[in-house]
Structure 1
Amino acid sequence: MTSASRPSLLIVDDDPLIQNSLAYLLARDFELVVASDRPQALALLQSAGAPDLALLDLGLPPHVNRADEGLALISELLALDPLCKIIVLSGQDEEAHARHALTLGALEFLAKPVAPEQLRAALTRALSLRQQESRELLQSAALPRILGQSAPILAAREQLQHYAATRFPVLIEGESGTGKEIAARALHELGPQRDKPFVALNCAAIAAGLIEATLFGHARGAFTGAVGAQAGYFEEAGEGSLFLDEIGELPLDLQPKLLRVLESGEYQRVGETQTRKTHARVIAATNRDLRFDARAGRFRADLFHRLSVLRVAMPPLRSLGDDRSLLLEHFLNDYTRQMAVSPCRLDTEAQACWLAYDFPGNVRELRNIVVRLLSRHAGQLVGRAALEAELDADSLPETPAQQASPAIQSGDLAAQIQASGGIVLDEALRRVERDYIAAALRAARGNMAQAARLLGLNRSTLYNRIETLARYGEAIFPSDTLSD
């Protein structure tokens, strides 16, 4: 969506005054796309593509006092283009929600009202980072970018090196932000097809009705708007690699056609009867448990087995131990040069906090934290309080007092009841239910449907339970950072 002369900037805010002010301030430097809500933004992106940068308000219609629309849009923008740099424009009372947005992949958040020079500086930093990452993606070999010396990282790198020489499909599994696309590029660049095209499609970023034509191409007149014949991604990949990210989002009715391609290499353009042949290697990735989805009937079991001939697990950052410090140093050195600032360093307490933090957004979150630290504390020694201000509140490491095991965890319920002089059972059960729901939502990164599956509930039941808990004063925190 980049113009030949100016980078593109998406502005999403329901306040016309803010829209006009931002447009007046930024129109000279950016190609602007302005939307008032999430559906309008998505409709614009379907035709124009992902922007280079985005300025998003979290509180969007129809629920302007909640953050779910803005948070969902962050995920959708990054699905369209992982290099898109997102800055959240937030009200002061939304800081907790803005922190959650950073965990999802937003680069930075700015409190409203924001000074023009502060906004320009943030956009300049974001654009510089995007351009640098784009160059690295094009110029560098992928495998050295999978940094770390921990056992899980070494195992993943060994698998990638071993599988690169084959033409069999590979399924890359891992949470969002663990580097699945980098792993896919490593498979391509280390293999014999390194000089052939590498084509990537995020299955979650394309409307369900358009995925078939995007993958296989279409004939002229095949559907409304098909004014000419168009090659699909399989043809564009040629004898190279086709990377299908978020493969679990592929519609069920399209899965047999992908299975046919994997088994025979044959497919047809939409609206044609001519059979075509592809020699592209398919690499798929998912942040879902496809084996579980296959058992539940949400994904074809035969397609899962065909895609997962070879499997690579990209480990979550919380399992990588001291690699978190190695990655910190790597990104500090890298972005200190890019941003032309003096490095910052963590003091002893902040280092301990860094190593204890879970990084729910994985390497993507870590990288963005480093950028914000350098933006705010260049040349300084960063303490624990300053570091915690950049971390997700729900994932902060506990203090020693918080780590003390309550009686319900130790099993000494009788002692707890006796010491308290009795309990109100309904209140105690509500607190336990609240803790389990909150834990499931954290594990699902705020996705309601996934959290419901983890709890063995349907989504409407989970909504009802959350609303009931809120009425009794047991709101799930943060209560309005949930998505569908």
Structure 2
Amino acid sequence: MPTVAGKRQGYNRKYFTWNVALLPVAKPLLLIVDDDSLISESLNFAFAQEYDVLTSHSRAHALAMLRQLRHPPQVALVDLGLPPLPHRPDEGFALIGDLLALSPDMKIIVLSGQSDEDNARHARTLGAVEFIAKPCDPGRLAELFRQALRFGHDNQAAQASGLIGESLPMQRLRLQLGQYANLAYPVLIEGESGSGKDIVASHYLHRLTERRDKPFLALNCAAISPTLLEPTLFGYAKGAFTGAASAKAGYFEDADSGTLFLDEIGELPLDLQPKLLRVLENGEYQRVGETQTRTSTARIIAATNRDLRQEMRAGRFRADLFHRLSVFTIAVPPVRETGLDRLLLLEHFRKTCAAGVHAEPFLLAPAAQSLWLDYGFPGNVRELRNIIIRLTTRYAGQTVSADQLRAEFDHFESPEQPTGVASLLANDLADVKQAARQHLEKSSRLNLDATLELWQRGYIEAAIELSGGNMSEAARRLGINRTTLYNRMEGWNRR
């Protein structure tokens, strides 16, 4: 049987073997994703004694491999410049989101061949705890891995401490949780990535309810191959498919009369949605390969960072399933909408993180505190906590200046349109309309898509020229992030 640690130990590069998924997890599991085999194998050798090491060469390969593991890695080292060609950071950025969807508690450290502060900030905003430029010192990496694991244990305790905040959105959230917690009906939790939907489900809609002594099972619908979702949810009979050597219960059966939390419910395949709807309507389901009807009394809680109403209109999510899941809907607010709560979060995580590594808490200088209040935290509580982890590591017992804090922020990822842009567009609408009218009068056959693409390309090329070729500055001028800018430019090359 191939070992976890080896990249060239005989297993297929495309798919991980099921035998590996059955290995006991004696040491922390470390994932290394880098298409340079020399780097990945060198790091494998360096860390094999302290970790069970998984190596991968691409985003697709890493995800296919992890979806067959029983337990996700606690720590991951991800190279930003992954294939396909040309190597650009957007593939690495996407993998960060994928990994955190698989396991919100995974600690991700980013490796890059370019010491680019914009890339570093954006990777941290997406949820990475640290950014390291190549060539990297294995000793430095080893210390970062250990710190990440220590902060991981500390975070588990911090999560159980409660919802932090006194803003109106947080008060509304607590009120809704008090109203819905002990009801048997399904609850749909909506909120952006990193906002804490999993904590709301596990702590407030289960552990603080009458079901607290019953099982709580969580399944991330994005973390499992679509072909394995049905047997994972409903179980399967012996011989139901290749590899089903014995019958196995699914999540509905194991949850019993407890709580089943379905995270990333928007990723549920369309052909599986009617079967989930049946369970919600009458509690009935069947194991794969069986005709016997079984009954579930588990309470269903679902979560999504997608707009399921939009998914419904696009035909990717059933309307009847949406209405059954959303008997009660809870919206977890993003940090940018909770005002001064970010100071309470700062105080909480500052002390908790310092205690977890036996260090003195840092302080923020007055100018840094003002900066903290002005920042929007597009990565929400996850980003906020990771910033505090890094500040604790670097400035324990010290006063952090505004410049030191600013270096941790992502300055080109803004979820909101700057004020003034909407009014500017409104003031110019008459001019735009007049220009469009003249164009239509002169053109017997106008192609609207081609015209809009031409305008978009003109704006992008103008922004790049004005920015002297600096893509981060061009993205800022256009009000989009750099990954989006690259993707739109790549679309030109494909046409």
Per the normalisation by structure 2, the TM-score is 0.81
Q: 1:472 to 1:130 in 2, by over 3 A?
A: same
The more displaced of 404-413 and 197-206 is 404-413
The separation in 2 between residues aligned to 1:464 and 1:56, in whole angstroms, is 36
Aligned residues of 1:358 and 1:395 also touching (Cα < 8 A): no
Q: Residue 145 of structure 2 corresponds to which residue in structure 1?
A: 123
Q: Please tell me whether residue 37 in structure 1 is matched to residue 58 in structure 2.
A: yes
Q: 1:462 to 1:57 in 2, by over 3 A?
A: farther
Q: What residue ranges of structure 2 are gaps of 5+ in the alignment? A: 1-20, 437-447, 465-473, 489-495
SS at match of 1:161: helix
Q: Residue 285 of structure 1 corresponds to which residue in structure 2?
A: 303
Aligned residues of 2:83 and 2:91 also touching (Cα < 8 A): yes
Q: Residue 360 of structure 1 corresponds to which residue in structure 2?
A: 378
Aligned residues of 2:154 and 2:353 also touching (Cα < 8 A): no
Q: What letter is aligned with 2:75?
A: L
The separation in 1 between residues aligned to 2:415 and 2:277, in whole angstroms, is 44
Q: 1:107 to 1:278 in 2, by over 3 A?
A: same
Q: Residue 475 of structure 2 corresponds to which residue in structure 1?
A: 476
Aligned residues of 1:353 and 1:397 also touching (Cα < 8 A): no
The separation in 1 between residues aligned to 2:241 and 2:487, in whole angstroms, is 32
Q: Residue 50 of structure 1 corresponds to which residue in structure 2?
A: 72
Cα displacement (A) at 1:97: 2.0
Aligned residues of 1:407 and 1:413 also touching (Cα < 8 A): no
Q: 1:199 to 1:108 in 2, by over 3 A?
A: same
The more displaced of 313-322 and 226-235 is 226-235
Aligned residues of 1:356 and 1:397 also touching (Cα < 8 A): no
Q: 1:294 aligns with which of 308, 312, 316?
A: 312
The separation in 2 between residues aligned to 1:160 and 1:341, in whole angstroms, is 35
Aligned residues of 2:79 and 2:92 also touching (Cα < 8 A): yes
Q: What letter is aligned with 1:121?
A: E
Q: 1:299 to 1:406 in 2, by over 3 A?
A: closer
Q: Residue 26 of structure 1 corresponds to which residue in structure 2?
A: 47
The separation in 2 between residues aligned to 1:275 and 1:43, in whole angstroms, is 32
The more displaced of 128-137 and 209-218 is 128-137
Aligned residues of 1:388 and 1:396 also touching (Cα < 8 A): no
Q: What residue ranges of structure 1 are gaps of 5+ in the alignment? A: 418-424, 427-456
Q: Residue 175 of structure 1 corresponds to which residue in structure 2?
A: 192
Per the normalisation by structure 1, the TM-score is 0.83
Q: 1:466 to 1:71 in 2, by over 3 A?
A: farther
Cα displacement (A) at 1:373: 0.9
Q: Residue 7 of structure 1 corresponds to which residue in structure 2?
A: 28
Q: 1:377 aligns with which of 382, 388, 395?
A: 395
Q: 1:295 to 1:20 in 2, by over 3 A?
A: closer
Q: 1:464 to 1:58 in 2, by over 3 A?
A: farther
The separation in 2 between residues aligned to 1:83 and 1:407, in whole angstroms, is 38
SS at match of 2:302: strand
**How many aligned positions are there?**
435
Cα displacement (A) at 1:396: 7.6
Q: Residue 168 of structure 2 corresponds to which residue in structure 1?
A: 151
SS at match of 1:196: coil
Q: 1:81 to 1:405 in 2, by over 3 A?
A: closer
Q: 1:322 aligns with which of 304, 326, 340?
A: 340
- Once the two structures are superposed, the pairs formed by residues 134-213 of structure 1 within 5 Å of their partners are 134=156, 140=160, 144-185=161-202, 186-213=204-231
Cα displacement (A) at 1:37: 1.2
Q: What letter is aligned with 2:76?
A: A
Q: 1:91 to 1:167 in 2, by over 3 A?
A: same
SS at match of 1:392: coil
Cα displacement (A) at 1:46: 2.2
Aligned residues of 2:122 and 2:413 also touching (Cα < 8 A): no
Cα displacement (A) at 1:83: 1.1
